[in-house]
Amino acid sequence: MASQQHSHEETGHTHGSLKSYVLGFVLSIVLTIIPLVAVMNDMFNKSTTIIVILVTAVLQFLVQLLFFMHIREEDKPRYNLISLIFAVLILMTIVIGSIWIMTYNQVAG
Q: Residue 2 in 3-state DSSP?
A: helix
Q: Model confidence over 10-44: pLDDT tens digits?
A: 445 566 788 989 999 999 999 999 999 999 999 99
Is the full-model pTM beyond 0.75?
Answer: no
Q: Model confidence over 52-84: pLDDT tens digits?
A: 999 999 999 889 888 888 777 666 667 777 888
> Which residues touch 81 (CB under 8 Å, ≥6 apart)?
71, 74
pLDDT at 9: 47
Please give the average per-residue pLDDT across 90-95, as a whole number. 93
